[in-house]
Amino acid sequence: MIQNLIDGVLTGSYISLGAIGLTLVMHILRFANFSHAELLSLGAYVALVFDALVSALVPVFAVKIAPLSLTWALSAAILISMVITAISALLIDRLVFKRVREKGQELSMVFASFGMALIIRNVIGLIFGLSPELYSKDIAFAMILSRDPLILVKPDQIFVLVAALVLMFLLHLVLSRTTFGYSLRAVAENPSLAQVNGVNLSRTIMAVWLIGGGLAAVAGVFYGLSHQLIPVMGRDLVLPIFAATIVGGIGSVYGAVLGGFIVGIAGNLALVILPSGYTPSVPFLLIIFVLMIRPNGLFGEARA
Partner 1 sequence: MTNKLVYAAALGLAVGLPALPGTAQAQDCTTKIGAVLPTSVDWGRPIAETAQFAVDQVNAAGGAAGCEIEMVLRDTQVDPKVGVDAAKALVDLEGVKVLLGAVSSGVSMPILTSVTVPGGVMQMSCCSSSTAFTGLSEEGKTNGLWFRTFATTGVQSAVGAKVAADKGYKSVAVLYKNDDWGQDMARLIAADFAAVGVEVTTSVAINDGQPSYRAEVTEALATQPEAIYLALYPAEGTAAVREWISLGGTQNMILANSLKSDEFRDNVGMQYLGAALGTDTASPRSDSADAFRAAYQERFGSEPNGPGLANSYDAAMIALLAMEAAGPDASGPEIAAAVARVTDPNGTPVSADTAGFTAAKEVLAGGGTVMFQGATGNVRFDANGDVSAPAVIWSFSESGTEEVEYLSLPEVDAFIASLN
Binding site for partner 1 (CB under 8 A): 3-4, 7, 11, 15, 131-132, 134, 137-142, 144, 150, 152, 154, 223, 226-228, 230, 232-233, 235-237, 240, 267-268, 270-271, 275-277, 279-280
Q: List, in sequence order, the alpha helices (H) in the chain.
A: 2-28, 36-57, 72-92, 98-103, 106-128, 155-177, 179-189, 191-196, 201-226, 233-248, 253-273, 282-293
Which CB, 27 or 154, lies closer to partner 1? Answer: 154
Instruction: For residue 227, give Cα distances in angstroms to 125, 137, 156, 195.
Output: 18, 11, 11, 44
Which bin fits 202, alpha (ψ -120 to 50), beta or left (φ > 0)?
alpha
What's the closest the beta carbon of residue 136 comes to partner 1, in angstroms? 10
What's the closest the beta carbon of residue 269 comes to partner 1, in angstroms? 8
Which CB, 11 or 113, lies closer to partner 1? Answer: 11
Coil, strand or helix at 104:
coil
Which CB, 4 or 195, lies closer to partner 1? Answer: 4
Contact 22, 212 (CB under 8 A): yes
Return the half-sphere exposure (C-beta side, CA atoms, 13 A cut-off) of residue 21.
34
Contact 218, 212 (CB under 8 A): no
What's the closest the beta carbon of residue 190 comes to partner 1, in angstroms? 36
Cβ atoms < 10 Å from Cβ of 62: 16
Which CB, 104 or 155, lies closer to partner 1? Answer: 155
What's the closest the beta carbon of residue 90 comes to partner 1, in angstroms? 26
Which CB, 29 or 39, lies closer to partner 1? Answer: 39
What's the closest the beta carbon of residue 1 comes to partner 1, in angstroms? 10
Task: State phi, psi for 241 to the nearest 5 degrees.
Answer: -70, -45
What's the closest the beta carbon of residue 221 comes to partner 1, in angstroms? 14
What's the closest the beta carbon of residue 233 comes to partner 1, in angstroms? 7
Peptide bond before residue 191 is cis, with ω within 30 degrees of 0? no
Which CB, 113 or 226, lies closer to partner 1? Answer: 226
What's the closest the beta carbon of residue 23 comes to partner 1, in angstroms? 18
Instruction: For residue 295, give Cα distances in angstroms to 238, 247, 278, 289.
Output: 21, 9, 25, 10
Which CB, 64 or 227, lies closer to partner 1? Answer: 227
Which CB, 188 or 233, lies closer to partner 1? Answer: 233
Task: State phi, psi for 200 to the nearest 5 degrees.
Answer: -80, 105
Task: State phi, psi for 190 to the nearest 5 degrees.
Answer: -160, 100
Instruction: Specify the pairing of strand 151-153 against strand 143-146.
Output: antiparallel
What span, in angstroms and rounded, lies between the C-alpha atoms of 279 and 270?
6
What's the closest the beta carbon of residue 22 comes to partner 1, in angstroms? 15
Which CB, 60 or 272, lies closer to partner 1? Answer: 272
